[in-house]
Amino acid sequence: MKKTTIFLLIGVLAIGGAEAGDRLTGAMFATRSEVIATNGMVATSQPLAAQIGLDILKKGGTAVDAAIAVNAALGLMEPTGSGIGGDLFAIVWDNKKKRIYGLNASGPSPKSLTFDHFNARGITEVPTEGPLPWTVPGCVAGWFALHEKFGKLPMTDLLAPTIAYAQNGFPVSELIAYYWGRSVERFADFPNFQKLYAPDGRAPKKGEIFRNKTLAKTLQYIAKQGQKGFYKGEIAKRIVAYSKRVGGFFQLADFADYEPEWVRPLKVSYKGYRIWELPPNGQGMAVLQWLRLLEQMDLKSMGHNSADYLHALIETKKIVYEDRARFYADPAFFKAPIRKLLSTAYAKKRLKLFHPQKARRRLSHGEEKLEAGDTVYLTVVDSEFNAVSLIQSNYYGFGSGNVPDGVGFCIQDRGALFSLEKGHPNVYAPGKRPFHTIIPAFVTQKGEPVFSFGVMGGAMQPQGHVQVLLNILAFGMNIQAAGDAPRFRHRGASQPTGGRMTDGGTVLLESGIPPNVMRELVQKGHTVAKTSGGFGGYQGIWIDQKNKTLIGASESRKDGLAIGY
């Protein structure tokens, strides 16, 4: 109700003068103005972390330097969605070389945990808690891989701000405090978790000061010892010792043998732009497949967030997610037919499944746990227009809830996204990387960087990417409005964890979508509901090549901001 009042007030002000009218150009959904700067910019979901990144840029650090510093801070300040017990993916644009790079820093399952362990115990899906969903954390290795190729300042400088905040404390922000409280309840029976994250017997509330001196010591150790300190030194030893104590399967070799992988980003063209995503084991290719379908349609003529428009997106999403469930897995174990999946000919063939007036009900079926997922996203562009699009996560909130003794962070539960269905491309295997939901994105035009962005939130991420892109490229919104505009989320598609849907799933709508649109979708056969959460969190930086400026946005669904200088 408050947002409606604000929009009406802005409409009244717009009548009064040209400046207000300019403010609204392409920004009918914007909750605030875009942020514009020339020397560097950071956008992420926690304000203090964003400021740390800006300070690194001011000290002469590269975009990658700032991104590492921001990610370290988020692991402390937003542990509900990130931390060095999780994985990392990144897209980096080197503006001097005019080249794009992809980094997959997701870790594999323990080599000593076999499929037979699950099968013998009658376990049909990998749980989200305890040691069974553990995979090797790839975050720290990802930092050092990025730093080796693109860094400038020493790692001690990059981690120093977070170490200071961990020692001295920081005020917990509003949305993070809410999710923190939910996790403290969820992990009531995990003593190490409670000791670290609920030191007063409860989660910290908004504005209260939280310290994590154990994490400070861990980061100091990593800053001095480097990657080997985490994967071959004291940190790995502590995690493995804890694993043995609680019935886990980690061995020192799991850590010592791990290396992140530089990968070639995938791309498709859409309305004169090239959209870049990372290949599987992530789900970024779904965005590209989806755009291949949508380029065959005149979406603008349908009207933004009209029933016809949303129906087109929902139904094509179902088609794409069917392929996502079948083909997206660790390429070391399963080779997806990527070229075919991204071809226009294949898109036209698949589009024959689309009915413009009728919802399909038997395309797909999935498990609820893939719809969830807590993640952080950040993007940085420096003064030379080098850019980083980086996403990092523990997967399910704080991850598995397991805090190894003396490290100051949780171990992720990303292995919960393995299938336990024999013969499935994403079926569990020792030393295998699971299907991943977290995806960074990047856009170029005529060989120049244009837009670095991401939308966090489990299976919502491709849906968020496509909606934000269409808002900008098809409907001409500015990048702040594109993120703030009301979204839909379809849940219940086929999942890489196995299982199929037979009832068409459920379409969830944000409150800004009118009731008549909801009614029309129901008439087309959709099951529709309204909800206030689960629509992801977006940040983005647009590189204005004409004016040589940076334009930043951070949506109202998160605590964060875009900040530049």
Which two structure tokens, joined as six digits, stand for 485? 């505009």
Torsion sign (Cα): 258, 262, 264, 266: positive
Catalytic choice (80, 128, 218, 375): 375
The packing angle between helices 285-294 and 460-473, to 10°, is 40
Torsion (CA) 31, 538, 305, 445 in degrees, nearest 10: 110
- Rounded Cα gap, residues 375 and 392, in angstroms: 6
Within 10 A of 13 (CB to CB), how many other CB atoms are there? 14
The packing angle between helices 213-225 and 155-168, to 10°, is 170
The packing angle between helices 213-225 and 234-245, to 10°, is 130
Q: How far is CA 479 from CA 25, 40, 102, 452, in A?
A: 12, 17, 23, 11
Cα 289 to chain centroid, rounded: 18
Q: Are 318 and 491 in contact, with CB atoms under 8 Å apart?
A: no
375 is annotated as an active-site residue: yes
Q: How far is CA 180 from CA 81, 399, 465, in A?
A: 10, 12, 26
Token pair 């804890």 in the structure block, residue: 242
Bridge partner residues of 376 (DSSP)? 392
Cα 401 to chain centroid, rounded: 20
- Rounded Cα gap, residues 497 and 383, in angstroms: 43
Length of the chain: 565
Q: Are 53 and 162 in contact, with CB atoms under 8 Å apart?
A: no
- The CA-based angle 272-275-281, given to 5 degrees, is 160
- Rounded Cα gap, residues 544 and 32, in angstroms: 19
The packing angle between helices 155-168 and 63-77, to 10°, is 20
Q: How far is CA 199 from CA 60, 102, 169, 193, 398, in A?
A: 38, 39, 13, 9, 16
Q: Are 407 and 235 in contact, with CB atoms under 8 Å apart?
A: yes
Closest CA to 542 of 466, 457, 441: 441
- Rounded Cα gap, residues 98 and 93, in angstroms: 7
Token pair 């150790």 in the structure block, residue: 221
- Rounded Cα gap, residues 142 and 261, in angstroms: 9
Which residues contact residue 405 at a Cβ distance below 8 angstroms, ignoring those fewer than 6 apart?
A: 192, 238, 241, 242, 245
Provide the residue type at 21 as one letter.
G
* Residues belonging to the active site: 375
